[in-house]
Structures are given as C-alpha cells and as structure tokens.
Amino acid sequence: MISKNISRIGILTGGGDAPGLNAVIRAVVKVAIQEYGLSVVGFLNGFSGLINNQSRELKESDVIGILPRGGTILGTTNRDNPFHFPMEKNGNIEYVDVSDRIHKNLKDLRIDALIIVGGDGTLAIAKKLHDSGIKLIGVPKTIDNDIYSTDQTFGFDTALTTATEAIDKLHTTAESHHRVMVLEVMGRNAGWIALSAGIAGGADVILIPEIPYNIELVVEKITQRTKQDKQFSIVVVAEGAAPIHGSVTIQRLVKDSFEPVRLGGISNKIAGEIEAITGKETRVTILGHLQRGGSPTPYDRILATRYGAAAINFLMAGKLGHMVCLNGTEIKAIMLDKVVGGQRRIPLDLELLNTARQLGISLGQKKTVID
C-alpha cells in the first residue's frame, strides 16, 4: 500500500565519505520523481544542513553524471550531532539538544520524510530522530563493512579493490629489495578489509582486530619464509589490530565527532619490532583516506543504487524507522533499533579465516583450523 501522506522528502549523507554515496542520491532522486511523483530536497553537509537549514532542491538534472563519482555532491561531516550540539555560552562550550530546530526546519520546508545515509553513528542519530516523530529510512554506508544486520555495505568493495591494488604494487618492490612490507588498512574494530585484501593480494601475514596477535608468531612466519629462500614478506594489518594483552594504537582524539577515537599507527609499531628481531629491512605504507576515494566499483554502484531505490520503496510502503539491508542476495528492511548498538565483526568460525590458515597465511596466532 502506497503512502498518500508523503509528497516531499529530504536526503542527507552523514559520517565519513564512501564511494557509492552519489549512486544512492541518484537512485533516490530518480525513483522518487519518476515512480512516485515526489519532490526531493538535499540537505548539505550531513546533520549540519538539517540543523542550520541549509539545503537545495534536487531534480533529475542534478544527478546526471554522478553515478561514477566518488564522494557526495551534498557534502558530509562526522560532527554536528543534533542531540549533543556544541554551543558557546559565556565563553564556554556547552552541549545542548537542538533537535527541535530540525523539526521546525522540516516543517518550514514542507518535508514529510527523510532518507538518512550513513554509518553507525549517523544511524544512531537517525533512530533518535525517528523516536522523536520524524518519518525516515536509513541507508547503511561504510567502507569498513561493519554495520550490524547487513551482509555488505556499499563502499567496502571499492576500498577492498584499492587495498588489493596496493598489495600488488608492494609485492614488486618488496621482492626487488628483499624487504618486509607492512600495509595498514582501515576498518576500525573490524578486519574485513585487511582479511579480504590480504587474501586477494597474497599476503603472508594478516592481522585483524578480532584475533589479538603474537609478534613472535609474526616473526616466525617471516623467518620461515627466509629459510625457504623467500627473501620478502607482505604483512597486512588492520588499524584496529592489537597484540595479545595489549591495546589498540590511537592516533588522536577528535572532540564532537561521532567517532572521537581515531585509530592508526599500529603498522609502525609492528614494523619496528619485525626489523629489530629479524634484522630485515622493513617498510610501512598506511593507505589512510585513499581507501575512501575514487570512483566506486561496479559492484558498489549497483548495491548503492539498489539501496537508494529500496529506501524510497520502503518509505512509501510505510516501513518507517527501518534501515535497508542486504540479506543474501535480497534487499530487505530491518528496524533501526535492531541495528544501533551492534557491530558486524569477523566471526572466528568464518570460512575465509580457515582458508587463510590453510593457505599458510599467519594470523599472528597458533595455526588451528576450525572444522
């Protein structure tokens, strides 16, 4: 049954950027206008646009040519939580709830419902906005692939491709100079990029947050390769990896952000230990934001397009307060309260982990293949 109470919608992209955001925007605009005759408003720079009433009308002409573009034409930010918004009072910064501004702005713009595209921080805010009475649908986005209740997020495949290409390039220089190359990839507290790229790129060691590593076992693998006359090694490490009885490496803390703890730098620690123990020349490459950039892969374009179209369809079908998700090969909808607070990490019985072990890849732990 199609909702007759929705004629004008808004869309925003929040959190870090990811390849495929423009594909979602394009699909939302085209399906909303062509299929349902809706008008569409794009809010600029994430929740900042909602709070400060910064928006633009989106017509089909505005989304021509954006499918292959990375980033987002609407802009984004991982700050500006409307329920914890910084305001200066008497020379001091206080955090206040300004969500009433959003209700007013939506009313003034005659917007009936929202499509909110983002990661777990963005979706947590979306749930609170829904609880406050705003009609909305969430769309999961992150290169880390760690959103709970969906099999894959758009942006992941592109980041994985970038990481794999980096490993391919590191192979040639590692082999030429007989070096150990340590590649650090993103992922926060989940190792999907590291594990997948490591296997795709033929890494010798893969270190992920879900399995605390023993540096002695990492060195053992490198030493073993040297004895086999393999004079180079490739180590792929997720930014959230940590040693046994150790902690993650924090690059910096960012106030007012959905993600105040920024991980990074574990590769330098590991490289220093490898070089000190083995004497082998060891170099570090930290991909960083290269993984967020560039044109989305065909898979990400298709997945993002499916998500965008489904978001409109579910919205018009009355599935409010839901997030679109991939379940197997199907796009479905799940309540946001079942998504928020969870995190999709690598299960220790994952078949891909067993495959890595059977290939002789070291995961920084004793080799045990799970049946």
Say what the pLDDT of residue 369 is.
43
pLDDT (tens digit, 9 = 90+) per residue, 353-370? 999 999 999 999 986 544
Indicate the residue type of 114.
Answer: L
pLDDT (tens digit, 9 = 90+) per residue, 258-268? 677 777 889 99
Q: What mean pLDDT do residues 285-298 have?
A: 94
pLDDT higher than threshold 80 for residue 332: yes
pLDDT higher than threshold 70 for residue 92: yes
Lowest mean pLDDT among 131-135, 140-144, 222-226, 255-259: 255-259
Q: How confident is the model at residue 2 (pLDDT cuts 50, 70, 90)?
A: low
- Asked if residue 194 lies in contact with residue 164, where contact means CB atoms within 8 angstroms, the answer is no
Q: What mean pLDDT do residues 112-134 have?
A: 96
Say what the pLDDT of residue 93 is.
87
pTM: 0.93
83, 88, 90, 96: CA torsion to nearest 10: 0
pLDDT higher than threshold 60 for residue 202: yes
126, 31, 66, 62: CA torsion to nearest 10: -90
- Is 146 in the active site? no
Specify whether the backbone of 37 is left (phi greater than 0), alpha (psi in -120 to 50) or beta.
Answer: left
Q: Which two tokens stand for residue 295?
A: 């044109």
Q: What mean pLDDT do residues 272-288 have?
A: 94
Q: Percent of the chain beyond pLDDT 70?
A: 96
pLDDT higher than threshold 80 for residue 183: yes
Query: Across the chain, what does the average pLDDT equal?
Result: 93
Catalytic residue among 80, 144, 146, 157: 144
pLDDT higher than threshold 70 for residue 178: yes
In the chain the domains, ranked by start, together with CATH numbers, are 8-154+296-338 (3.40.50.450), 157-291+347-358 (3.40.50.460)
> Coil, helix or strand for 136?
strand
Say what the pLDDT of residue 368 is.
57
Which letter, b or e, does each residue of 35-73 get, where b requires 16 or more Cβ atoms within 10 Å of its Cβ?
Answer: ebebbbbbbbbbbbbbbeeebeebeeebbeebbebbbbb
Q: What mean pLDDT do residues 125-143 have?
A: 97
